[in-house]
Amino acid sequence: MISPNLLEIERSILALSVEEQLWLLESIVRKIRENEYVKDNFTDTENLDEQLQLTAIEPNTQTQITAINDEFAISEIL
């Protein structure tokens, strides 16, 4: 059964101009595609592992890791 809220949204959409309806439809499709792309990339563990490996070898990441290790070295001494 369709909820009253969904029927209200449909009525509101029908009150829009054709141009506004097309814009809304394109926007919704774009967001769904973006969500699917993100979901697929995060569930693809091979891709995630590859991204993590590439990030780990970046010079900037290495510099940050060294700085973090230096900061925590003091607490390890105590």
Length of the chain: 78
Question: 45-60, pLDDT tens digit by residue?
Answer: 667 777 777 777 877 7
pLDDT interval class at 24 (50, 70, 90): very high
The predicted model scores a pTM of 0.46
Half-sphere exposure of 42 (CA within 13 A, CB side): 6
Residue 61: which residues within 8 A CB-CB, separation 6 or more? 55
Reduced to 3 states, what is the DSSP secondary structure of residue 18? helix
pLDDT reading at 75 higher than 80: no
Least Cα distance to 52 among 38, 39, 42, 67 occurs for 42
